[in-house]
Amino acid sequence: MAFAPMGPEASFFEVLDRHRASLLAALSKGSPEPPVQGTRTASSSEVLASIENIIQDVVTTLARNEAPAFIIDNRSSWENIKFDDTVGLQMVSHCTTRKIKSDSPKSVKKFALILKILSMIYKLVQSNTYATKRDIYYTDSQLFGNQSVVDNIIDDISCMLKVPRRSLHILSTSKGLIAGSLRFTEEDGTRVSCACGASALVCREPQSWMGPPSSQERRQAIAVPSNIQGLRNLITDAKFLLIVEKDATFQRLLDDNFCNKMSPCIMVTGKGIPDLNTRLLVKKLWDLFHIPVFTLVDADPHGIEIMCIYKYGSMSMSFEAHNLTVPAVRWLGLLPSDINRLNIPKDSLIPLTKRDQMKLDSILKRPYVTCQPFWRKEMEMMADSRMKAEIQALTSLSSDYLSRVYLPNKLKFGGWI
């Protein structure tokens, strides 16, 4: 008796397989040189020594009856950014800096907060314990004012010490989700299957991995782990990885059983602008498996911005680009050209706001657009039409058009750029 395959027939993946072969061929030509300016994983003793050197400089400066200051690389200037199409946006080795003075009314508070967080990091590393950014904020929420102040200072310290946040023993709670054909073991021994639907399991007992676990948690998707570097034994037979911009679209694809229909595949969402852990996970999956990576975003400037972050990185985190970017990412949809091609009703479109137009103009001026002529053409099409469309606009064609028609056809016939 013959049984129908659970996923698409083998020929469905023919174009995808050719795409993967071309990616592998490009990789075989040679890896990019190590970054001149960037972070590197550091041992606890190295981190402690670096902090001690900083504090020693502060003490020495005070002993000379001078006001100490921190020299921080400027992470908010395009002048400090160079573009490499094999890595993305990188901070230049001799960038402009900002001086956080202890005797300036404008910066004295930030100077004090940097000292405070450096002290907390030192204790964490010394005791081999970890804390989240949220934990640090709530040690003195009135002093810090808001969470973004803590986040920014931690990134400044990471950049100043040239080490990733993980080496500072600081974690962040992940907001991203993952589903599909992927299994892994977390640092504490928790074994996780990201299989879609009712088969998604989190096994708390290591011996239960291959058999029915005695304790299990069933869910539609798995939260992206907070310690990506600690993941091990990652296993997948996925043909592709689909990054979905919005949680609502991600959940709709799960409801439509997309993962199983297109099996084997992996889906990830950062629920909008991706957090560090989601970006680290996508990077890790690419580095380990070299499967095609696609983005599904709204046909608007915000969606394009999010896609660019996954592919080329961001200006503020350019000092860690080599750990975060996946230049192999391709734009699967929603393309501005799809709007006319699919005859999406005009009442499903939304006019670009002034803020949208400014964002679009900003993206068009970025260095990576010059090596993406098809992206430029799509963005210029959006600018000319002065209209944008959300992925949900596809429901005007049919309620399950996205999962039943749009994505399968895009994947089968190579409809990405």
Q: What is the pLDDT of residues 104-144, one digit of tens each?
A: 999 999 999 999 999 999 999 999 999 999 999 999 999 99
Q: What is the pLDDT of residue 10?
A: 62
Q: Residue 104 corresponds to which tokens in the numbers above?
A: 């300036």
Instruction: Report whether 200 contacts 179 (CB < 8 A).
Output: yes
pLDDT higher than threshold 60 for residue 70? yes
Backbone angles phi, psi at 242, to 5 degrees: -110, 120
In this structure, the answer to whether residues 347 and 378 fall within a common structural domain is yes
Query: Taking the CA atoms of the chain, what radius of gyration do you get in angstroms?
Result: 23
In this structure, the answer to whether residues 302 and 395 fall within a common structural domain is yes
The enclosing domain of 154 has a CATH number of 1.10.10.10
Q: Tell me the CB-side half-sphere exposure of residue 64, using CA atoms within 13 A.
A: 8
Rounded percentage of the chain residues whose pLDDT exceeds 70: 89
Instruction: Report whether 124 contacts 131 (CB < 8 A).
Output: yes
pLDDT higher than threshold 90 for residue 268? yes
In this structure, the answer to whether residues 167 and 177 fall within a common structural domain is no
Give the whole-angstrom CA distance, residue 16 versus residue 124: 45
In this structure, the answer to whether residues 233 and 295 fall within a common structural domain is yes
Rounded percentage of the chain residues whose pLDDT exceeds 90: 77
In this structure, the answer to whether residues 325 and 276 fall within a common structural domain is yes
Q: Which of 90-94, 175-179, 202-206 has the least mean pLDDT? A: 202-206
The enclosing domain of 179 has a CATH number of 3.40.1360.10
Which DSSP state fits 301? H
Q: What is the pLDDT of residue 209?
A: 42
In this structure, the answer to whether residues 157 and 250 fall within a common structural domain is no
pLDDT higher than threshold 50 for residue 1? no
The alpha carbon torsion through 345, 400, 337, 9 (nearest 10 deg) reads -150
In this structure, the answer to whether residues 286 and 162 fall within a common structural domain is no
pLDDT higher than threshold 60 for residue 207? no
Spot the catalytic one: 138, 312, 368, 406: 138
Give the whole-angstrom CA distance, residue 280 versus residue 287: 10
Give the whole-angstrom CA distance, residue 386 versus residue 384: 6
Give the whole-angstrom CA distance, residue 26 versus residue 31: 9
Position 349 in a domain: yes
Give the whole-angstrom CA distance, residue 69 versus residue 99: 6
pLDDT higher than threshold 60 for residue 90? yes
- The mean pLDDT value of the chain amounts to 89
Q: Residue 404 corresponds to which tokens in the numbers above?
A: 């039943």
Instruction: Report whether 260 contacts 200 (CB < 8 A).
Output: no
pLDDT higher than threshold 90 for residue 199? no
Residue 81 vs residues 78, 214, 275: alpha-carbon distances, Å: 5, 52, 21
What is the mean predicted confidence (pLDDT) over 262-290? 96
pLDDT higher than threshold 70 for residue 32? no
Position 120 in a domain: yes
Position 310 in a domain: yes
Q: What's the 3-state SS for 369-412? A: HHHCHHHHHHHHHHHHHCEEECHHHHHHCCCCHHHHHHHHHHHH
Q: Residue 4 corresponds to which tokens in the numbers above?
A: 């129908």
Q: What is the pLDDT of residues 296-314, one digit of tens each?
A: 999 999 999 999 999 999 9
Tally of domains in the chain: 2
Give the whole-angstrom CA distance, residue 370 versus residue 376: 8
Position 365 in a domain: yes
In this structure, the answer to whether residues 156 and 233 fall within a common structural domain is no
Position 205 in a domain: no
**190 contact partners, CB below 8 Å, separation of at least 6:** 202, 203, 204
In this structure, the answer to whether residues 164 and 255 fall within a common structural domain is no
In this structure, the answer to whether residues 312 and 346 fall within a common structural domain is yes
Q: What is the pLDDT of residues 214-239, one digit of tens each?
A: 334 434 799 999 999 899 999 999 99
Domain hosting 56: range is 44-67+102-171
Q: What is the pLDDT of residues 335-388, one digit of tens each?
A: 999 999 999 999 999 999 999 999 999 999 999 999 999 999 999 999 999 999
In this structure, the answer to whether residues 112 and 227 fall within a common structural domain is no
Position 265 in a domain: yes
In this structure, the answer to whether residues 167 and 252 fall within a common structural domain is no
Position 342 in a domain: yes
Question: Which residues on adjacent β-strands are paired with residue 91?
Answer: 81
Question: Which residues on adjacent β-strands are paired with residue 82?
Answer: 90
Q: What is the pLDDT of residue 365?
A: 93
Give the whole-angstrom CA distance, residue 383 versus residue 109: 43
- Regarding predicted confidence, which is higher, 263 or 398? 398
pLDDT higher than threshold 60 for residue 171? yes
Position 80 in a domain: no
pLDDT higher than threshold 90 for residue 79? no
406 is catalytic: no
Backbone angles phi, psi at 301, to 5 degrees: -60, -35
Q: How confident is the model at residue 38 (pLDDT cuts 50, 70, 90)?
A: low
Q: What is the pLDDT of residue 263?
A: 81
pLDDT higher than threshold 80 for residue 204? no
The alpha carbon torsion through 397, 403, 405, 411 (nearest 10 deg) reads 140
